[in-house]
Amino acid sequence: MHYPNQFARIGVSDEAALQKLNDTFETIFFDPEENFYHQLEDGTACMVDTGNIDARTEGMSYGMMMAVQMNRQDIFDRLWAFAVKYMLHTSGHYEGYFAWSVQLDGKHNFEGPAPDGEEYFAMALFMADARWGSREGVYDYAAQGRTILRHCVHQHEMVPDGQPMWDPENHYIRFVPETRWTDPSYHLPHFYALFADHADPCDRAFWQEASRASRAFIASSAHPVTGMSAEYTEYDGTTRLMFRKPFEYYSDAYRVALNIALDTLWNGRDEGTAKVVTNLQNFFAPIAQADFKAYMLDGTAVEEPAMHPVAMTAVFAAASIASDSPHADEWLRRFWNEPLRKGKRRYYDNCLYFFALLMLSGQYKPWGRM
C-alpha cells in the first residue's frame, strides 16, 4: 500500500510532508492549548467539539480513524471504550446504535444516532483488526465492526420499531434512520467497498451495491458548473433546506470533496466525481479564504461567512488527487501554507485538515483491504 506524496508536485519532500503530519497529530491530541482530545479519570477519552463542548460520534470515530492511521492503539482503545461506555444503546429501538452527542461526562444530549458516526466507527474497527489484531470483548474489533453494520442494515428486522441507517431499496445512507432523505457528505463509497470484504457474508452484496450507488449519487447530485453539493438532499439529489439555513453549500457539504479524493486514491479515477472536484477547484480559485461564504449551489454567495474556512481550503487541496483543474497545484500550495485553526471552532476545521494532510502526504491507507 504505497501512495504518493502529492505535495511533491509543489516541491515538498516526503520527509517534510511526514513531519507536518506528525506535528499536526501532536497538536490535535496533545498540545496544551490547541488539542481537543480529552482523557477521563476512568481511563476513557473523547474528542471534544470545541464549538459546542460535547463529544459526538462524528468526532469520536474521526479520532479513532486518526489513531489507527497513526498507529496509536492506546488512543484508539480509550476512544472506543468511551463510545461503548457512554454512547452505545444496549436496549430500545436504538439498540446497537450510538447517541450522537453526549456531554464530556457521558450524559446524553440526544438519544438518536447520526449515521456518519456509525460508518466511521465500523471502518476504524476493521482497520484496527487488520493493523493490530482483535482481542476479546469490546476489543474484538472485527466482531464489533460487523455488529455495527448488522444493525445499520437490519435494524428494522432486529429491533421492534427500529429503522435501518441505509435505505433497503436504493442503498443510500439516510440522514438519520427515521428519515427518507440523505446527506451527500455521508456517502463513502470507498468505505463500503471495504465493508463488502469484512461485513457479514450475507450483506456483502448490499455493500457492493451501496458503493456503486453512492459514487453515482455524489456525481449526479453536485451542481454541474460549480461542483457544490448541498448539505442535505432528497433521494433524487434536490436540495432539502434544514435547520433554518437559507443556503445550500455549508459545513457538512465540504466533506464531499474529501470523500471523492480518498475514493480516487484507494480505488482509482471515476470520471463523474472527478468532474465534481475539478469544478469546485475552478470555482473557488479566485476567492480568498477570508472571503469564503455560505453559498447556493449555483455559486450565489449568501451574506453568511463560512463557519469553517480552513476546512474548505483543506478539502479543496485534497481534491487535487482527483481534479483536472489547472488550479490543482495552487490549492496544494494554499493548503501547505495554511496553519491549523485556533480557537473555539478549531475542532471541525482541524479534523478535515488532518484527513486532507493524511491523504496528500500518502499516509491514508486502507488497512484490511483484501
By annotation, the residues acting in catalysis are 58, 252
Alpha-carbon dihedral sign for residues 171, 265, 352, 145? positive
Judge contact between 69 and 131, C-beta under 8 A: no
Burial degree of 102 (CB within 10 A; 0-12, 13-18, 19+): buried
Alpha-carbon dihedral sign for residues 235, 65, 318, 5? negative
Q: How far apart are CA 285 and CA 279, in angstroms?
A: 10
Rg of the chain over CA atoms, in angstroms? 19
Distances (CA, A) of 144 to 91, 201, 297: 16, 15, 39
Name the one residue in this structure whose C-alpha cell is 519532500. Answer: 13
Bridge partners of 37, per DSSP, are: 47
Q: How far apart are CA 174 and CA 27, in angstroms?
A: 33
Q: How far apart are CA 269 and CA 160, in angstroms?
A: 42
Bridge partners of 56, per DSSP, are: 101
Q: How far apart are CA 163 and CA 176, in angstroms?
A: 9
Q: How far apart are CA 25 and CA 251, in angstroms?
A: 22
Distances (CA, A) of 15 to 3, 122, 354: 14, 31, 17
